[in-house]
Structure 1
Amino acid sequence: MTVTASNTSSVHKLHSDLKSSLIMMVDDEPIMMELVQAFLEGEGYSKFLTLEDSTIALQTMKERRPDVLLLDLNMPVVDGFDILRSLRASAEFSRLPIIVLTANSDSASKLKALELGATDFLAKPVDPSELALRLQNTLSMKTYHEQLIYFDALTGLPNRRMFVDRLKWVLERGKQTEATVVLVNINLDNFKKINQSMGMLAGDAVLQQFSESLLAQVHNQSLIESDDDSDIRFSLYRLGSAEFTLLLPAIEDATTIKRSIHAVNTALAKPVVVGQHVFKMTASTGIAISAAGEVEADDLIGRATDATLVASESGGNCVRLFSEEIRALSKQRMELEIDLRNAVANGQMRLYYQPKVAADTLVVIGMEALLRWHHPTRGVVSPGVFIPLAEELDLMPSLGEWVIFEACRQLAEWSSRGMQDVKLAINVSQQQLGDERIIESLSRALDKYEVSPSSLVIEITESLAMGDSDFILDLLNQIRELGIRLSIDDFGTGYSSLSHLAQLPIHELKIDQSFLLGPQDTLKMTVIIKTIIAMAHSMNLTVVAEGVETAEHLELLRRERCDIIQGFYFSKPLPADEFFKYFNGWGSHDIQLDL
């Protein structure tokens, strides 16, 4: 192996970290402990805890949490074998390195000690050089195992397992010292979108840069008042994909909490640069406080999580302090999650249908399927509430599949009742389009209900169509090869490249309703709509306008030769049976035009 300057630096840092380990010695011979400590101090070790009274060894270890234990076997009342048994039976110390130092050099004692869980065994009188080597190897192995078990491989931060372990210890100590413990839980907003649109490597780079910035702010803001680097090291944890937590173990006043919020905001304010892309991150932050150890670990974690969840539900980019009101809101959200997971199985999801009308003849030529949730106690839950929740819970692929099958079933039923030559539009989410199984779902649904592919229209948003070009283009081509029509929804709200748009295998553009319903100047709105229609027609694309609510809207769109009209001026979304009646009675509708 070639040792580079970087390798050498890493080795020196590792040895430096090892030398800061807390070494605990339990021995009823104080002179022996003094000799061992003097020698190890000469080797660069600086932190020692010596104990003659073996009866208080376990309690002392819980309070001080040593990195390694040098243990004598022959001691009165509680001997080394008893301590070994107790430590290995404890989840807290089951992996603690224990080097036995004893005058019992017989094979039986050595074997018994090793069977009880001793890491290593040295006979007294101890050879100083051998002790130094054994100690270094033991601590190095401990560090390696801890890195695998307790630290996040991506950011290098301690992970959830280490966090829970450390928090329990901090709260237990807080009961004795009456210290106030604070958790600052941080969840990066919209992080999934970075992974989905830019790929996981870009997402990893964002997490690495943010964690480095935040850890630097922990130092800069002096959030951990300690001369011990390990206290600072164990202040910031990565708990999940984009979830981090600051553990402030002994704060004295509210200024520390304010400094922690400032640290988070400062870290977020630093732009994250990945290749040619610059990300400005925001976060939902929840704070929970335990005074004098009054709250157990699980409850404190739950409080911080609840506060973070409410911050996220409030739109993100904000901070919430836990309260009983927040707990109630979080409980409602949790209940909604559970209900949403079971909504399809319980028959609560339904499709409503909004008519689409040919602009020139004013004949109903199709409809758009819109998902609605009829909750047994909450009534109709707004799509603006449950769709983002379904996306967050990764439920959209399964919900989307249900929509595809239900829409095809309904088309088949309507066809058997005489409704022919209509086209049904279905919205497809980013999560669905990111799952290649959508092709299989579409094929199976069409076959099962013997529906003509040309009667289906798949709508995807403009921003989604402009995503991962190769992947999206390939998937759209596969959908088109099935004979299904493709539509770009919300057109005009994204940042389309016309050259890229021309490459997409689409059949129509759907003008976003904001151009009709927004506060824009009428003349500018007319120019924009006219431009979009002319551009689409030059590309042989059908144009659909949604959000049509007035006769003036309809007149404008007909004048500019828009192809298809959709909006409340004709009808709100209707249940299947009502839509069928509406379709059959359409000829009796009186539409007044002044052209």
Structure 2
Amino acid sequence: MVSSGDDILSRRIAELERENAELRAYAAAIDLGGDSVAVADADHRIVSVNAGFTRATGLTLAQVAGRAPGFLRAGLHPPEFFEEVCRTVARDGHWEGEVLNRRSSGEIFSEQMRITVLRDEAGKVSRHLYVARDVTEMREATEGLWRQKNYDPLTELPNRSLILDRLLQSLVVAGRENRRAALLFLGLDGFKTINDTLGHTIGDMVLKEVARRFQMALRRGDTLGRFGSDEFTVVLPGIDSVDQVETVVRALMECLHEPLVVEGHQILLSCSVGASLWPGDGEDVESLQRNATSALQQAKQSGRATYRFFTPDMDARAQARTRLAGELSDALAHEEFSLVYQPMIDVESGRVAGAEALLRWQNRYIGAVGPDQFVPLAEEMGMILPIGRWLLGAACREAAGWRDLELGPLKVAINVSARQVQQTDIAELVRAALAESGLAPELLTVEITESLILTSGAEVAAKLQRIRDMGAHIAVDDFGTGYASLSYLKQFPVDILKIDRTFVADALTNPDDARLIEAIIGLGHSLNMKVVGEGVESLDQMVFLAERGCDLVQGYRFSPPLAADRFREFVKGHR
């Protein structure tokens, strides 16, 4: 007979066989399924993985056993993300979400993962179960559809839908931060002609290049989009003043000044711009869009390459600036520029050594316009180049005439802009002006800014050396404001340092300015340079500079800038 103990053992063996069969069936089902499964112990060390895990990661159990699953992280989530995952698992016993991991090949992939805590009969954590599904293709497909819906396929810029969404976000942030936002509409002038004459293929290439230039001209955080055939739009967040908007607008317009070279065609293009601001020009996206469009239409009606603001108060200021720009573009043709000359005095002899030629503008409608208003505008418009050529020639001709009147060997100093030096053959311009006027090269001083020295390299230094090789002199104007060091000065052919007037003004009351002037004079003389003190308005300032060895001075202490005939009289009276 079979004992009852044998019966119990047989039944137990049969139960275990059934359980093992079920476990094998479960394991086979898990392996055949598409999910990746990893089992880790209470300390998150991997103890088992399925075939799906190996397919997803390229790693076998032998390669991952004993390691924490965190080694698979792609490193694209912030640390706070995983800290929150751990807190959730500890608190709730599970977590579910999307993570970016890295395969053994280095490829990054996206997984929808669920982490579950398994506990034993005593309630203690015994296992952690990681079940994940590769959603990379689905995510890429979803992102592709989203991009197709929200981006322009030609320029790869946000389209109308996305740009309006970005505008709404900017309005929300601006309201929260008590700031402003702006919407710009840009229309390409004459683009239809390009399509009609060169074809749509060239037109498409032009649009792509324009988009690239616009993108380069914007600030970080600005959003550029394509709204239509030849219309672009820009969302400007974080605006504190209208000047910021104008700066961006001018940068966008200036980036088209250089011709576009497409398939051998040189294409000149400009744009008109309309702007609306929040709050003030509308309380929602639709009204801002409508008003920016109206402003663009006004800009186009006013001519090419211009811009308009929508609101009356802002438009009045923009209109005034636009009018000034329009008048400035015709100023040379109408001979509205003139030169005045501020005497430069030799400290040792007290005699007039020469003069600095200064530009003045008397507009036939507006009247006198200060250099502080029109010179920056001329820089922005690119007008500084033709204006600079005129100034150079006119000053050389006037200085050459001083010789004929037997006024002595008077030198003339002429300011040139950084753009003139960087974008033109300034040495050739100087040579031509000297040849045309007959002025001796040694009587010409070309004044550059200290900032040019700080931001330029060998190419600019070579241009200045060519000027010096002719016999002319190079001066650094407003020295001391840009922190140019000895090493900078030694790299450039400089003959004269001009101490900025702000230091001279406070030299008698500010010990720091006094010491700085002494240092500049010492530095200049150590490099065999002459030193000029600008803005001298009192006898005490003159004495201060003279006692410290300053070579030349200029300022209202001696004379304001004078018209050409009055300067000649001044020289005759101070022989």
Q: Same fold (TM over 0.5)?
A: yes
Range that drifts further, 429-438 or 546-555: 429-438
Structure 1 residues 461, 11: closer, same or farther in 2, change over 3 A? Answer: farther
- Cα offsets for 1:269-310 (capped at 9, x unmatched): xxxxxxxxxxxxxxx9944328776956631447999xxxxx
Of the three residues 360, 381, 404, the one matched with 2:369 is 381
Of the three residues 448, 461, 468, the one matched with 1:480 is 468
Q: Are residue 553 (structure 1) and residue 541 (structure 2) matched?
A: yes
Of the three residues 122, 138, 142, the one matched with 1:16 is 142
Q: Are the aligned partners of 1:544 and 1:562 in contact in 2 as well (CA < 8 Å)?
A: yes
Deviation at 1:503, TM superposition (A): 2.4
Deviation at 1:5, TM superposition (A): 4.9
Kindly report which structure 2 residues correspond to 1:429-444, keeping only aligned pairs within 5 A, or say none: 429-444=417-432
- Cα offsets for 1:346-386 (capped at 9, x unmatched): 01000110000100111001000000001113221110100
Deviation at 1:419, TM superposition (A): 2.7
Residue type of the alignment partner of 2:182: V
Structure 1 residues 10, 332: closer, same or farther in 2, change over 3 A? Answer: farther
- The answer for the alignment partner of 1:336 in structure 2 is 324
Of the three residues 351, 374, 378, the one matched with 1:363 is 351
Q: Are residue 184 (structure 1) and residue 182 (structure 2) matched?
A: yes
CA distance in 2, matches of 1:5, 1:551: 77
Of the three residues 282, 293, 298, the one matched with 2:293 is 298
- The answer for the alignment partner of 1:196 in structure 2 is none
- The answer for the alignment partner of 1:157 in structure 2 is 157
CA distance in 2, matches of 1:524, 1:183: 42
Q: Are residue 289 (structure 1) and residue 282 (structure 2) matched?
A: yes
Q: Are the aligned partners of 1:289 and 1:300 in contact in 2 as well (CA < 8 Å)?
A: no
Structure 1 unmatched ranges of 5 or more: 23-66, 68-141, 171-181, 188-202, 216-231, 247-259, 269-283, 306-319, 588-595
Kindly report which structure 2 residues correspond to 1:113-262, keeping only aligned pairs within 5 A, or say none: 146-148=152-154, 151=155, 157-158=157-158, 184-185=182-183, 211=220, 213=221, 244-245=234-235, 261=238
CA distance in 1, matches of 2:450, 2:467: 17
3-state SS of paired residue (2:477): strand
3-state SS of paired residue (1:431): helix
Q: Are the aligned partners of 2:425 and 2:463 in contact in 1 as well (CA < 8 Å)?
A: no
CA distance in 2, matches of 1:164, 1:301: 20
- Cα offsets for 1:93-133 (capped at 9, x unmatched): xxxxxxxxxxxxxxxxxxxxxxxxxxxxxxxxxxxxxxxxx
- The answer for the alignment partner of 1:575 in structure 2 is 563
CA distance in 2, matches of 1:6, 1:436: 50
Structure 1 residues 460, 4: closer, same or farther in 2, change over 3 A? Answer: same
Residue type of the alignment partner of 2:386: S
- Cα offsets for 1:504-542 (capped at 9, x unmatched): 211111111111224873443332222211221111110
Q: Are residue 393 (structure 1) and residue 378 (structure 2) matched?
A: no
3-state SS of paired residue (2:318): helix
CA distance in 2, matches of 1:471, 1:15: 51
Deviation at 1:330, TM superposition (A): 1.6
Q: Are residue 446 (structure 1) and residue 405 (structure 2) matched?
A: no
Of the three residues 383, 405, 412, the one matched with 1:424 is 412
Q: Are the aligned partners of 1:185 and 1:304 in contact in 2 as well (CA < 8 Å)?
A: no
3-state SS of paired residue (1:556): helix
Structure 1 residues 559, 17: closer, same or farther in 2, change over 3 A? Answer: same
3-state SS of paired residue (2:423): coil
3-state SS of paired residue (2:474): strand
3-state SS of paired residue (1:289): coil
Kindly report which structure 2 residues correspond to 1:30-109, keeping only aligned pairs within 5 A, or say none: none
Q: Are the aligned partners of 1:517 and 1:547 in contact in 2 as well (CA < 8 Å)?
A: yes
Of the three residues 453, 456, 479, the one matched with 1:491 is 479
Deviation at 1:17, TM superposition (A): 4.7
Identity of aligned residues (%): 30
Q: Are residue 415 (structure 1) and residue 408 (structure 2) matched?
A: no
Q: Are the aligned partners of 1:511 and 1:545 in contact in 2 as well (CA < 8 Å)?
A: yes
CA distance in 2, matches of 1:263, 1:326: 14
Give me the CA root mean square deviation: 4.6
Q: Are the aligned partners of 1:286 and 1:304 in contact in 2 as well (CA < 8 Å)?
A: no
Residue type of the alignment partner of 1:364: V
Residue type of the alignment partner of 1:289: G
CA distance in 2, matches of 1:439, 1:329: 39
Q: Are the aligned partners of 1:358 and 1:365 in contact in 2 as well (CA < 8 Å)?
A: yes
Q: Are the aligned partners of 2:295 and 2:309 in contact in 1 as well (CA < 8 Å)?
A: no
Range that drifts further, 374-383 or 344-353: 374-383
Question: Normalising by structure 2, what TM-score?
Answer: 0.55
Q: Are the aligned partners of 1:543 and 1:564 in contact in 2 as well (CA < 8 Å)?
A: yes
Question: Normalising by structure 1, what TM-score?
Answer: 0.53
- Cα offsets for 1:368-420 (capped at 9, x unmatched): 00000011132211101001111111111111111111111112222222233
Deviation at 1:450, TM superposition (A): 1.5
Residue type of the alignment partner of 2:447: E
- The answer for the alignment partner of 1:327 in structure 2 is 315
Structure 1 residues 289, 486: closer, same or farther in 2, change over 3 A? Answer: same
CA distance in 1, matches of 2:464, 2:520: 22
- Cα offsets for 1:181-240 (capped at 9, x unmatched): x972479xxxxxxxxxxxxxxx999959954x456xxxxxxxxxxxxxxxx9889xx988
- The answer for the alignment partner of 2:129 in structure 1 is none
Q: Are the aligned partners of 1:427 and 1:460 in contact in 2 as well (CA < 8 Å)?
A: yes
Range that drifts further, 449-458 or 494-503: 494-503
Structure 1 residues 147, 443: closer, same or farther in 2, change over 3 A? Answer: farther
Structure 1 residues 384, 12: closer, same or farther in 2, change over 3 A? Answer: farther
3-state SS of paired residue (1:442): helix
Q: Are the aligned partners of 1:509 and 1:536 in contact in 2 as well (CA < 8 Å)?
A: yes
- Computing the radius of gyration from Cα coordinates, the structure with the larger value is 2
- The answer for the alignment partner of 1:464 in structure 2 is 452
